[in-house]
């Protein structure tokens, strides 16, 4: 392991707690299954008039689009990619979602979110409107995400904080120094006279 100034580097928060694979599939799969049907184009080809219809429910993508939706509480669920670079682009979103009471989940891979909106990659996706037949499935998904991730935020944050700040290491070191085995194994001239 390299030593010196370069080895320390910049302290960065660890990777966020990512949704399990099963929940991620529940978010991604229904959307890929239901592609846009071409009813209007079929009616046009059949000779019927082009009647304006209600705008279909769509996913809203991108940090700049999702943030106002969360602030206005219009987003029903927010999915955030875990591998955004730089992470500072989306690091505020979980706190904002918690403050506004919007459920959020962190999905592995921005390419996976990109598939939902027919792009290579995407940092965030928000569900604003859903078809009436999919509302019950979304409600179940939101409930599962809330109980497993959003409500357990303090527990997850506590474990991550100790990893980032080294609290676990300093606590372990203090326990070791207080243990009888350390007293038995320490040098005879410890602590040094200048330290007292």
Q: Calculate mean pLDDT across residues 119-146.
A: 91
- List the CATH number of the domain containing 106: 3.30.1330.30
Residue 193 falls inside a structural domain: no
Once rounded to an integer, what is the mean pLDDT over residues 176-182?
63
DSSP summary character for residue 55 = P
Q: Is 27 a domain residue? A: yes
Q: Is the predicted pLDDT of residue 36 greater than 50, yes or no?
A: no
In a domain, 121, yes or no: yes
pLDDT digits (tens, 9 = 90+) for 144-176: 999 888 888 777 776 655 555 555 556 566 666
Phi, psi at residue 61, to the nearest 5°?
-125, 155
Query: Is position 24 within any domain?
Result: yes
Report if residue 145 sits inside a domain. Answer: yes
Helices vs strands, H then E, count in the chain: 10, 4
- Residue 30 binned pLDDT confidence (cut-offs 50, 70, 90): low
Alpha-carbon span 166 to 129, nearest angstrom: 43
The total number of structural domains in the chain stands at: 1
Q: Does any domain span residue 98?
A: yes
How large is the average pLDDT for residues 126-144? 90
User: Is 195 inside any structural domain?
Assistant: no
The pLDDT tens digits of the residues spanning 48-76 come to: 665 667 777 788 999 999 999 999 999 99
What is the Cα 93 distance to its own chain's centre?
9
More confident residue, 60 or 188: 60
- Host domain of residue 128: 20-31+56-149
Q: Is 132 a domain residue?
A: yes
The pLDDT, as a whole number, for residue 87 is: 86
Within a 10 A sphere around the Cβ of 69, how many other Cβ atoms? 19
Name the residue among 90, 117, 96 with its Cα closest to residue 27: 117
Give the global pTM.
Answer: 0.60
- Cβ neighbours of residue 175 under 8 Å, at least 6 residues apart? none
């Amino acid at each position: 392991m390299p030593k010196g100034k370069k080895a320390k580097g910049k302290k960065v928060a660890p990777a966020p707690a990512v949704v399990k694979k099963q929940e991620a599939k529940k978010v991604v799969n229904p959307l890929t299954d239901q592609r846009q049907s071409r009813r209007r184009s079929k009616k046009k080809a059949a000779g019927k008039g082009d009647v304006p219809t209600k705008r279909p429910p769509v996913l809203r993508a991108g940090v700049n689009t999702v943030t106002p939706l969360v602030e206005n509480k219009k987003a029903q669920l927010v999915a955030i990619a875990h591998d955004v670079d730089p992470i500072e682009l989306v690091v505020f979103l979980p706190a904002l979602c918690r403050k506004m009471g919007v459920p959020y989940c962190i999905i592995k891979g921005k390419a996976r979110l990109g598939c939902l909106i027919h792009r290579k990659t995407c940092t965030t996706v928000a569900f604003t409107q859903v078809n009436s037949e999919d509302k019950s499935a979304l409600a179940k998904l939101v409930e599962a995400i809330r109980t497993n991730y959003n409500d357990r935020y303090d527990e997850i944050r506590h474990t991550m904080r100790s990893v980032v700040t080294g609290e676990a290491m300093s606590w372990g070191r203090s326990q070791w120094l207080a243990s009888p085995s350390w007293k038995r194994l320490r040098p005879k001239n410890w602590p040094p006279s200048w330290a007292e």
